[in-house]
Each structure stands twice: as structure tokens, then as C-alpha cells.
Amino acid sequence: MKLIKCLFVLHLSIFILSCPLGVNIDIGDYDYHLEEWNNQNMFNYQIVVKQAYPNIVNEAIILVKNGIPKSINKPYWDVRERLSTIPDYYSFINKEIIDKQKISLYNYSFVVKYNTEYHYPVSIICKRNGSEVYSHFISLMPLEEGELEIDIGDYESQLAAWNNVNLQDYQLKIRYKPSDYTTIFAAYTESIIVRKGIPNESRVLNYPMIKTTIPEFFNFIKAEEESVRNLHEGKYRCFLNVQYDTEYHYPKLINSGGYYLFGRNNILEITVTPLEKE
């Protein structure tokens, strides 16, 4: 019986040694970047975060003031206790290091990379036996003191002039151009036919700034003005500029910043082509 047990232990040991088990931890110069992050005393910033797990991808834009997340564009983010500040991510990395070092049943890879200017983790990737378990990608922009610039032109008279034109049948072409592609929104073009003031576009658009009629864009301008003012709070550079078509008086250009992409501008170009009545 002792011989059988010895042989069993021997074969088990050989099997374990032959398996590609272990933990590959590469967190770079964690202590250096953490110290540099703390030395900056950066408490006001905005981050775009993307957390991916098998079959699940979560994205959010988070505004942090005085080190506390104040606004998150995904209402479920805090409820599910997702990471919302840079210190959260540093604590997460430290915890994962401890947990991964205890693992011996799988071949784990845990890799962290950092931004060299502001010293925050830009990517955290964990793999098990070569397959990705999760990944976190972060993009940060500091929020600094700045001016509020709002120029929506003679909004009321332009709206009244558009209504007086009484254009109910038209083709609406919309081009959305983010100036910085760290945004979760890519460049986008949409064409919509409007008949009797009703758009033929029935599907739900994933871009909240894309509207389906000119009256909706007029409403969007006022909503965007309020959002820009709320974000500014006398501290951050925010702006909203609107230009109008001189013939039909619709907003042909809406250029805003500080809301969707932490102070960098997003541009909406709008073109209206009248259609013959059916």
C-alpha cells in the first residue's frame, strides 16, 4: 500500500510539473507610478473607462471632483460597485496581485501598463490559460480652470424663422465628428427622410447627440447649453457654438465641448435638402 501511495504521489508530481501552471505578473513599475500619481495631487479629472469580460462590455464616462466620482453617464455603474477613480484602480491592481499569487491551479497572466504623463494605469489585462478573463482600459483628462464660451447665435429668431418656412418634407444628413478618438463614439454619418414632419428613422440611435428632425436639434441645443453650464461650474473650460443656415434657418453646425469628451469638441454638421411633397 505504501508503494502504491508513493507511486501515486510521484506520478502526480510529474503531472503537475509537466503542466504549464503558474502566474505571470507584470505590473511594471507600480510603486513609481503610484507615487508619481499621488505627488500630482490630481483630484479633478474625467475618465473614459471600458471594462470587458467574456460576453460583457461596460463603458462609462466618469467625472471626478475632489477625488469623488460626481457624475457617471451609466446609472448602473455605482450600483454594481464598478471602479470609478484612479485610486480605485491602483487598489484593484494591488488586490489582484495578492490574489493571483495564491493561484496554482491555472496558468494566469496579469499585465498592467501606465500613462507616462499622468501616471495612471491605461490598461489592465488578465488571462487564464491564454484566454482573456477581463480587461480594463482607461483614458484620463485633467480638468483645469477655464472659461465658459457659449454662442448659440440668435436662437429664438432662427427657430421662429425655421417654423415660418414650414418645411415638413426634407432629407436630413447628419455627420458627427469627434475631434479626439479616445471617445467611446466614433465618427458617424446618418441620412434621414422626413415626411410631414415625421422621420422615417424608426430604429434607436446609439448616439445621443444624433436627432431625427430639425425641431429635435433645436431642443438639443438648449439641453446641451444646460449641460455645458452645469459642467463648467466656474472651473472648467467648456463651450458651445452654433451656426445656422441662412436660407432655411436650421442649425447647420453644433460644436460643443466639455460634456461628452471632457472638454474636447464634438462637431455635428447638419444639411437639409427640401423634398417634393408626395
pLDDT 10s digits, 103-139? 656 788 889 999 999 999 999 998 888 888 889 999 8
In tens, the pLDDT along 169-219 reads 999 999 988 755 445 567 788 899 999 999 987 555 667 788 999 999 999
Task: Provide the whole-model pTM.
Answer: 0.51
Q: Which residue shows C-alpha cell 477655464?
A: 146
- Those residues whose C-beta lies under 8 Å from the C-beta of residue 56, and which sit 6 or more positions away, are none
SS3 45: strand
Task: Round to whole Å and give the CA distance between 103 and 93.
Answer: 16
